Chain A
Amino acid sequence: MSPSLVAPEPEHCPGPESEQAGQGDACAGCPNQQICASTPKGPDPDIPIIRERLSQVRHKILVLSGKGGVGKSTFSSLLAHAFSANPDSMVGLMDTDITGPSIPKLMGVESETIHVSNAGWSPVWVTDNLGAMSVQFMLPNRDDAVIWRGPKKNGLIKQFLKDVDWGELDYLIIDTPPGTSDEHLSVNSLLKDSGVDGAVVVTTPQEVSLLDVRKEIDFCRKAGIRVLGLVENMSGFVCKNCNTESQIFRATTGGGKRLAKKMGIPFLGAVPLDPRIGMACDYGESFVDGFPDSPAAKAIKQVVRAVGQLVGEDPDTVLPDDTAE
């Protein structure tokens, strides 16, 4: 439970929820000291509620990357679309990027709003078996900026986990913002009890991106999150005029494959850069349904099957392999 503070946290604040709240060196003179000191300590009382709420969710998968713009949200939405291609699976997609939510746009449900009922907030249903939740649905205006500090973001993420009525789900995919900060720590601490299947880490081939992704894998290790595997996005580009493949984002240091090998995590596959993916995303359509025969779609399907297998499902029930036939 997060106390309501009267002033911004001071430098080196131990955190209003921490054991040292109100007692640290930085707390001396802080207007919040009394509030923090009187907050009950110990495990967050909301965690059992979250566990109860998410007990009907069979698999919880995080999509992470230290770097921004590598395709976390795109990949999350592709994963969600692919899982929901099986009409028997119920899929939820949660967007924890508070200041830059992309999921509503990618799913083509930007103008929807959330309905509140006795059971909690209802997610926005994109198809019969695919629901999405994002802060974007709560903004009165599409372009409104959410200028929030960490604790406020954490509060909303907790509400997403505690108050959203997901119902029975086979997969809950959690899309995250770039970095290793508040959102990631919150998601991890709140979900630890409910059990997360693992994280899919997304990267692009160039070293600038791998550098940040290495940090994210380090974070997963420190936080005790299982890394399901690494996906390399925007890997190579085939000119549609002359069919020459060129490396727009060059893998000068071996790309995702080498990083995965070095860090000892599975490499799930490389998805080539296809302008049609971006286009499908801008219009909120499913790329895999729209262009099932493109190399990118085939690569994505392979990755989805691999993810399904890693969380303990039969890949043929997750996504029937039509490439083999």
Chain B
Amino acid sequence: MPLDGVKNIVLVLSGKGGVGKSSVTLQLALALTLQGKSVGILDIDLTGPSIPRLVGLEDAKITQAPGGWVPVTVHPASTNDGAQRGSLRCMSLGFLLRDRGDAVIWRGPKKTAMIRQFLSDVYWGETDYLLVDTPPGTSDEHIALAEQLLRPATTNPAAGSSTMPRLAGAVLVTTPQAVATSDVRKEVNFCVKTQIPMLGVIENMSGYTCPCCGEVTNLFSSGGGQVMAQETGVKFLGAVPVDIQFGELVEGKVVDESDDESEDGAQPEQKREQKQDEVVDERPLVERYKDCWSYSRFEGFADTLLSEIEGGVAY
């Protein structure tokens, strides 16, 4: 039985590329695990998988077990300091590639088949939330996802028996500028047509605070996400400004052999060493994420989603 043990499925969608679907997925996942939920991330962006890089496990490989493919574990469940932390595991095509630079040049039917396999052959086990990170657009991957999920999963909370995963809905990610929201509106229409419930809109990259003088600049104008949410009647979850610290958290680890001279001088080198020290420090991603200020925002989003999804339904 595909998706056995998965309780809720949340899609992260956006019509536009590069608005931060993958980083929002990861931050939501981290926030949910800090609430004690076990979370899985399924990355179905086949031609541009970002999740392996973001979790810092580019060299990880998928293993095969009797139950199916075993997803890569980012951190296991634990209960230290009295706080319960759920596990975080992820699955991406990036883990199946021989070389990280390899291009996956596939037409639609092959992508559809791969997604079908991801949804049927991965052994997730007991998972409270499965977050699905998607590529931009409304094409093959999305159609495949809708077709595959609407069959074994139900969107109706009342009908949700304990064995059936529930397609809780979709979180839409946008940036404030009109070019992005006009594509995300198309994604809203996609959800309406496929009858996928929409949980809310997150406006990402909403402003940037200059680290030097504190001046807030709206890099990509502002408020676009909120206006779009109002006009399309979708709940607005909130706005997230650019968080350099989170950016460095997922970018900081240098994988390339630093063989050639760094042209910006010595300072970045020091930074890198610092970062590597932290890696040597063996603090898992989730612990380091707690230090980012955007964690508080995503904690709020996770709370909203939890109450929206689980509200009234006892597990």
Contacts and interface: CB of A to CB of B under 8 A. Distances in A.
Interface in A10-36: 10-13, 15
Interface in A262-281: 273, 275, 278-279, 281
Please provide the 8 A-B residue pairs with the shortest distance between their CB atoms, ordered closest to farther. A68-B17, A69-B18, A150-B108, A99-B137, A11-B113, A241-B215, A179-B47, A145-B189
Given A105-B179, A185-B107, A244 B212 contact: yes
B107 A240 contact: no
Bin the interface of chain A by size.
Answer: 35 or more
Interface stretch (A80-88, A203-211, A297-305): A203-211
Interface string A66-95: 111110011000000000000000000000
Interface stretch (B148-156, B162-170, B247-255): B247-255
B139 A98 contact: yes
Interface of A: 8-13, 15, 66-70, 73-74, 97-100, 102, 105-106, 142-151, 153, 177-182, 184-185, 204, 206-209, 211-212, 214-216, 218-219, 222-223, 237, 239-242, 244, 246, 248-250, 252-254, 257-258, 261, 273, 275, 278-279, 281-282
Contacts of A246: 210-212, 244
Interface string B100-115: 1111111111111100
Nearest to A104: B182
B16 A100 contact: yes
B193 A145 contact: yes
Contact of B108 (A181, A219, A257, A273): A181
B142 interface: yes
B19 interface: yes
Contacts of B252: 252
Contacts of A215: 47-48, 101-104
Contacts of A249: 247
Contact of B48 (A68, A74, A182, A237): A68
A180 B138 CA distance: 16
Contact of A181 (B15, B111, B185): B111
B272 A275 contact: no
Contact of B16 (A13, A69, A181, A241): A69
A250 B244 CA distance: 8
Interface residues of B, number: 75
Contacts of B101: 211, 214-215, 218
A279 B221 contact: yes
A1 B45 CA distance: 29
A99 B186 contact: yes
Interface of B: 15-19, 22, 47-48, 50, 53-54, 100-113, 116, 135-140, 142-143, 175, 177-180, 182-183, 185-190, 193-194, 208, 210-213, 215, 217-221, 242, 244, 247-248, 250-252, 254-256, 260, 262-263, 268, 272
A100 B137 contact: yes
A11 B212 contact: no
B221 A275 contact: yes
30 contacts: A9-B108, A13-B109, A15-B109, A67-B48, A69-B175, A73-B179, A98-B139, A99-B186, A142-B182, A143-B189, A145-B187, A148-B138, A177-B17, A179-B48, A180-B103, A181-B105, A212-B50, A215-B103, A215-B104, A218-B103, A219-B105, A237-B208, A237-B217, A240-B215, A241-B210, A246-B212, A252-B252, A252-B268, A281-B179, A282-B221
Contacts of B218: 275
B19 A69 contact: yes
A146 B137 CA distance: 9
A149 B215 CA distance: 45
Contacts of A67: 17-18, 48
Nearest to A72: B17
B4 to A, nearest CB: 22
B281 to A, nearest CB: 18
